Structure 1
């Protein structure tokens, strides 16, 4: 596969996630968080498994992977989607999105501890730049000024509300899910593992929805159902299929650092479809995010020549 095509496919999941969260959020008040979470996973899981079947591949998960698969399904499907929709229900796209986009740093720490992946000073610099860029993109300028000027204690106490706490937990669940796919697909096809984990993980969420709001379908318009279909088929089936396929094969730290691009794509689509414009601080955040992705993805190439020259 050409390098440019591979990079396009690697970036595509984060572009789809940046728009899928925007599509999901307005559906939660009328459909309920559990229904939205289950509908994001159930059709996506069916679509992925149908594609696997049509392509002539086996739908079987190796018995040696079943234990890790169960844990992967519980953490990445049930827990992640549940806390994500609860976070979207209680917070906006500002600080909440910043917290969930902190997961590349969590993945880097887990990959370092579990797989001994190298994170040299250039990589750590890139991760720091990515977090700084996401802060500039998602946190209101007034709040950043409060932080810089050491705001009064009551203002600081209000920073982490319930919604932001849910989003932080979602980031943690996503980070663990990114690592668990390596264990859950040691002897199995990672795309098959992804499809089954979405299908089976949606069932407890669907049960919670039935217990919470009954069996009546939500009063959604045709456009609302289109938004839900986009979030499920593109924002889950295609995005998660590509994401976990690459996560099972690529350098976890470098690949997950592309997650810093998610708010960039969210803001870009907001500009195209909603006429939103970026503030100067947000443009600076875009620059930091792009620089961070360059540093993390090229950290070995940028650092090793310096080491050889020093020797």
Structure 2
């Protein structure tokens, strides 16, 4: 049965809505890194304190959201001993490391490089899958890993190929942010298949905030100004809760592949704001390195058939040119 104009318009509107959700969510994530760096640099806020605040309040908001949307199931995972154990594992070995390493990378370097290095996560997922399945990575995987390694090298050397131009601590925590991002992606797969994603993420954040309790109870932060409180509010509400809900909501309208590719707006936002607002020096080598690292993520998001089709099209075009 042929599709009517109304159906086509509806599909188009759904795609626009999905793309908008994914892009805005990624922009919120990228912008929150800039607010975080400002708090560290100008307000004396400590990374451990801010991580605890972010996890607690964002987790609380997500759990409450889940309770309102589905009051009968937001506690369901705690009724299964195995799933409760997986939740605790995810909270302390997935959620906490992903948040902490990212903030420590910003504190040791800057938001732009920390956000870009966090995008090394797919490389570590590839390596993990290769080891656990005992299968060699695909050709596209080798290309992705190579691009990521070259990009990282350019980013940390800033084009001075014989010496590091980024602080060793910033490099270490940035790479650890990539490792943590891989753990954050791999650990909750079973839970997300059974329970509301808001509940899984919210509970993991609330649990993850517990180790930081002494930081924001026994060692409160110095007097914060109204702009500081606004920045913290942005990190918690826009850069965590709303960003997550928007990206999650985009999956109702567009494919995970499209959402994954649009996540490139996160490092683009962080880098652009770092250069324009914080006046961080970011030369051609850093831009190229960042592009290569993000490109590795985009290659993994593309279906392999589309890549092969693109390769065939390029080969065909080259053959046509050679005949003329």
Specify the TM-score bucket, using the shorter chain as the normaliser: 0.7 to 0.9
Q: 1:88 aligns with which of 86, 106, 122?
A: 106
Structure 1: state its 5+ residue gaps: none
1:17 positional shift: 2.1
Equivalent in the alignment of 2:299: 295
1:15 equivalent in structure 2: 27
Report the TM-score, using the length of structure 2 for normalisation: 0.72
Contact 1:129–1:289, Cα closer than 8 Å, also in 2: yes
How much has 1:189 moved relative to structure 2? 1.6
Partner of 2:91: 73
Q: Contact 2:52–2:213 at 8 Å: present in 1 too? A: yes
Asked if structure 1 preserves the Cα contact closer than 8 Å seen for 2:30 and 2:115, the reply is no
Name the residue aligned to 2:237: 233
Quote the offset at 1:259 in angstroms. 5.4
1:88 CA displacement? 2.6
Contact 2:261–2:297 (Cα < 8 Å) also in 1 = yes
**Counterparts of 1:300 and 1:225 in 2: how far apart (Å)?**
46
Counterpart in the other structure of 1:55: 69
Deviates more, 1:105-114 or 1:279-288: 279-288
Once residues 242 and 124 of structure 1 are traced to their aligned partners in structure 2, the CA distance between those partners, rounded to angstroms, is 32
Residue of structure 1 in register with 2:206 after alignment = 199
Query: Is 1:99 matched with 2:111?
Result: no
Distance 2:123 2:282 in 1: 25
Match of residue 166 from structure 1: 173
Secondary structure of the structure 1 residue equivalent to 2:160? helix
Where 2:198 maps in the other structure, the secondary structure is: helix
Q: CA-to-partner distance for each residue in 1:198-245, whole Å, 9 max, x for gaps? A: 12211211223434x2xx453111111111111111211123445578
- Is contact 1:111–1:179 with CA below 8 Å preserved after alignment? no
TM-score (norm 1): 0.74
Post-superposition shift, 1:16? Answer: 2.2
Instruction: Give the total of aligned pairs.
Output: 293
Determine if contact 1:126/1:293 at 8 Å carries over to the other structure.
yes
Equivalent pair of 2:102/2:115 in contact (CA under 8 Å): no
Q: Distance in 2 between matches of 1:110 and 1:246?
A: 27
Maintained 8 Å contact 1:257/1:296 = no
CA contact (8 A) 1:11 1:258 kept: yes
- The answer on 1:146 being equivalent to 2:160 is yes
Structure showing greater radius of gyration is 2
1:193 shift after superposition? 0.5
Aligned CA-pair RMSD: 4.0
Task: Tell whether the 8 Å contact from 1:104 to 1:253 is kept in structure 2 after alignment.
Answer: no
State whether residues 122 and 302 of structure 1, in contact with CA within 8 Å, keep that contact through their aligned partners in structure 2.
no
Gaps of 5+ in 2: 1-10, 314-324
Q: Aligned-pair distance for 1:268?
A: 2.7
